[in-house]
A and B are shown apart, each in its own frame.
Chain A
Amino acid sequence: MVDVLIIGGGVCGCSLLYRLSRYKLNVVLVEKENDVSLGTTKANSAIVHAGYDPEPGTKMARYNVEGNAQMEKLCQDLDVPYLRTGSLVLAFDGEQMQVVDTLFHRGRQNGVPGLQVLTPKEIREMEPNVSDQVKSALYAPTAAVISPWELAIAQAETAVKNGAQVKLNCPVTAMEKTEEGFRVTAGGEVISARFVVNAAGVDCDRVHNMLCPPSYTVYPSKGQYYLLDKSQGDLVKHVIFQCPSSQGKGVLVAPTVHGNLLVGPNAEPAEKGDVGTTAEGMDFVREKAALSVSGINYRDSIRNFAGLRANTDQEDFLVGETEVPGFFQIAGIKSPGLTSAPAIAEDMVRMLGEAGLPLQEKENFDGTRKVTRFKKLSHEERARKIQENPLYGKIVCRCETITEGEIVDALHRPLPPCSVDGVKRRCGSGMGRCQGGFCGPRVQEIIARELGVPQTQVMQDREGMYIITGETKQGGKNQ
């Protein structure tokens, strides 16, 4: 009997798994894909929001501000890239200046520390490349950028290290209520669980409706982005927002923790699973971004992508127990979901405790993680690392300076990746300007070797995303 079954390995599910792994409990997370963080978690703005956007009194406001406060320490503990950049919301006319003032007061009400409204001169001293049309800006020093997928992976890994379980390739197909709790069919397996938490992201309504009558619907909203080369990474130092509208927080320009520049997103209704980019969407992003920051060189674009916001017909996050006792949800998590995830997880643990989950701490819990990032080491540390393990002397990804040692290490951590992109999310290989053109085949070979599978079976990312169709010269033609 599982104490808590979490459905969904996005940043919310993984945060909860991590939180619960400190207690003497049998906790299992089921994820439909072959890795955690494959939904919205891997395709979003990667911002730790300060918390001036949500309406005071909402769950969003509370979790955002709490999550922001927890994030830096959490990232330190788990060795997740985090950079406190601060953010600016730019106003270009009188109406927008009023919005900035509103956000300032809302932020104060929400308990956001350090907010200031800046003059054009102050803005340009901080950010010389913002448009000279700017009239005022809200400065939030507590905003930060982060690696969202690494936050999810690090928490999942550390939870597994502490005895929690992650079951991949395990889509939930049926659930029923039983005497003691629930019977959940996932990936062909039947799991009995006392408590179930639905953290299924864009799919949360489908999972919800397996046990409850429909009460909300997810209307995914797609956002498209440009990721630019590190040559553009210094263009701005802070997250640069425009004034929010009914369309969302608008197009932002932000440095990433990996040193690149992120530009986007737009907002458009989309089907579940549709993460394609469109010419119109990309044009819109470029056009809007040009209003805030001049001189973005899109010739240095290295990737475009789109992600889905799990917007629902409800204003606020849906966090708590459903009408079926013991069936909880972390649903409708749109922005600022990433920021809120640690605080939601903490609150969910409290709620589960109140519902009767015994929260007895493990004596030997180790909530920290340490990974080697060769690129970040000093010359001396590098020399020592290579001496200890010659695999660190072999650069596999030349754009991002990722060594074979780091890749092999990732493949032997508690939640090993099985795909080229899985390694990319953990190590950063293939994230650079050549986008895996040079290192992809090498990474694939290392995965095959370390996991003992044929290279032809190593996927690009999700199951079915095969790279190789066969071998040449095998006595039969390819067709």
Chain B
Amino acid sequence: MKELICIVCPKGCHLKVDEENGYAVTGNSCPRGAVYGKKELVNPTRVLTSTVKVTGGTLKRVSVKTDGDIPKSQLFPAMEALENVEMKAPVSIGDVVLENFLGLGVNLVATKTVPLREE
């Protein structure tokens, strides 16, 4: 039996996951908690949020996220991959920065609008 704190929502339910019985989850208050409990033990994943460079805009960085979870083990390689990414303003929320990011089956998308800088 493994004890976890659910991170699916701010409530933070205290979960118990039974590894011997098909990762049965108790202590969750919603179905998403059950999914999380199992996944956290089998293949823990996270959404990555960060920034990338943007040129010609009102800001120098635009915030980005993976539009789905990626394996926890890929967080640092993913950060590494963002180091040299550069976007050009204007950028809109939802713009795809990189498709099938690192071959992980998720896209990297912009989470902020960055208008063109008026000279």
Interfacial residues, chain A to chain B (CB-CB below 8 A): 472-477
- Between-chain CB contacts (< 8 Å), 16 pairs: A472-B51, A472-B61, A473-B51, A473-B52, A473-B53, A473-B61, A473-B82, A473-B83, A473-B84, A473-B85, A474-B83, A475-B83, A475-B84, A476-B83, A477-B80, A477-B83
What A residues does B84 contact at CB under 8 A? 473, 475
Cα separation A476 to B83 with both chains bound (whole Å)? 7
Question: What 5 additional pairs, Cβ within 8 angstroms, besides A473-B52, A477-B80?
Answer: A473-B51, A473-B53, A473-B82, A473-B83, A475-B83
Which of A472, A474, A475, A476 counts the most chain B CB atoms within 10 A? A472
Cα separation A364 to B38 with both chains bound (whole Å)? 84
Top 9 closest A-B pairs, CB basis? Answer: A473-B53, A475-B83, A475-B84, A473-B83, A473-B52, A473-B82, A472-B51, A473-B51, A476-B83
What B residues does A476 contact at CB under 8 A? 83
The number of residues on chain B lying at the interface, defined by a beta carbon within 8 Å of a beta carbon of chain A, is 9
Interfacial residues, chain B to chain A (CB-CB below 8 A): 51-53, 61, 80, 82-85
User: Shortest distance in angstroms between B42's beta carbon and chain A's nearest beta carbon?
Assistant: 30
Cα separation A473 to B83 with both chains bound (whole Å)? 4
What A residues does B80 contact at CB under 8 A? 477
User: Shortest distance in angstroms between A473's beta carbon and chain B's nearest beta carbon?
Assistant: 5
What B residues does A473 contact at CB under 8 A? 51-53, 61, 82-85
What B residues does A475 contact at CB under 8 A? 83-84
Cα separation A474 to B80 with both chains bound (whole Å)? 11
Cα separation A346 to B61 with both chains bound (whole Å)? 55
Cα separation A477 to B80 with both chains bound (whole Å)? 8
User: Shortest distance in angstroms between B39's beta carbon and chain A's nearest beta carbon?
Assistant: 29
What A residues does B85 contact at CB under 8 A? 473
Which of B51, B53, B85 counts the most chain A CB atoms within 10 A? B53
User: Shortest distance in angstroms between B59's beta carbon and chain A's nearest beta carbon?
Assistant: 12
What B residues does A474 contact at CB under 8 A? 83
Cα separation A476 to B61 with both chains bound (whole Å)? 16
Cα separation A475 to B85 with both chains bound (whole Å)? 9
Cα separation A475 to B86 with both chains bound (whole Å)? 11
User: Shortest distance in angstroms between A414's beta carbon and chain B's nearest beta carbon?
Assistant: 32
User: Shortest distance in angstroms between B119's beta carbon and chain A's nearest beta carbon?
Assistant: 15
Cα separation A477 to B82 with both chains bound (whole Å)? 11
Cα separation A474 to B53 with both chains bound (whole Å)? 9
Cα separation A473 to B84 with both chains bound (whole Å)? 7
User: Shortest distance in angstroms between A281's beta carbon and chain B's nearest beta carbon?
Assistant: 41
What B residues does A477 contact at CB under 8 A? 80, 83
User: Shortest distance in angstroms between B2's beta carbon and chain A's nearest beta carbon?
Assistant: 33
User: Shortest distance in angstroms between A337's beta carbon and chain B's nearest beta carbon?
Assistant: 46
Cα separation A475 to B83 with both chains bound (whole Å)? 5
User: Shortest distance in angstroms between A477's beta carbon and chain B's nearest beta carbon?
Assistant: 7
User: Shortest distance in angstroms between A468's beta carbon and chain B's nearest beta carbon?
Assistant: 13
Cα separation A472 to B79 with both chains bound (whole Å)? 11
What A residues does B61 contact at CB under 8 A? 472-473
Select from chain A the residue with minimum beta-carbon distance to B84: A475
What A residues does B53 contact at CB under 8 A? 473
User: Shortest distance in angstroms between B93's beta carbon and chain A's nearest beta carbon?
Assistant: 19
Cα separation A477 to B83 with both chains bound (whole Å)? 8
What A residues does B82 contact at CB under 8 A? 473
What B residues does A472 contact at CB under 8 A? 51, 61
Select from chain A the residue with minimum beta-carbon distance to B54: A473
What A residues does B83 contact at CB under 8 A? 473-477
Which of A473, A474, A475 counts the most chain B CB atoms within 10 A? A473
Select from chain B the residue with minimum beta-carbon distance to A474: B83
Cα separation A472 to B84 with both chains bound (whole Å)? 10
What A residues does B52 contact at CB under 8 A? 473
Cα separation A473 to B52 with both chains bound (whole Å)? 7
Cα separation A36 to B7 with both chains bound (whole Å)? 53
User: Shortest distance in angstroms between A12's beta carbon and chain B's nearest beta carbon?
Assistant: 44
Cα separation A477 to B61 with both chains bound (whole Å)? 16
Cα separation A472 to B53 with both chains bound (whole Å)? 9
Cα separation A472 to B86 with both chains bound (whole Å)? 12
Cα separation A472 to B80 with both chains bound (whole Å)? 11
User: Shortest distance in angstroms between B77's beta carbon and chain A's nearest beta carbon?
Assistant: 12
User: Shortest distance in angstroms between B15's beta carbon and chain A's nearest beta carbon?
Assistant: 34
User: Shortest distance in angstroms between A137's beta carbon and chain B's nearest beta carbon?
Assistant: 57
User: Shortest distance in angstroms between B65's beta carbon and chain A's nearest beta carbon?
Assistant: 15
User: Shortest distance in angstroms between B21's beta carbon and chain A's nearest beta carbon?
Assistant: 42
User: Shortest distance in angstroms between B81's beta carbon and chain A's nearest beta carbon?
Assistant: 11
Select from chain A the residue with minimum beta-carbon distance to B79: A477
Select from chain B the residue with minimum beta-carbon distance to A473: B53
Cα separation A472 to B52 with both chains bound (whole Å)? 9
Select from chain B the residue with minimum beta-carbon distance to A476: B83
User: Shortest distance in angstroms between B54's beta carbon and chain A's nearest beta carbon?
Assistant: 10
Cα separation A474 to B86 with both chains bound (whole Å)? 10
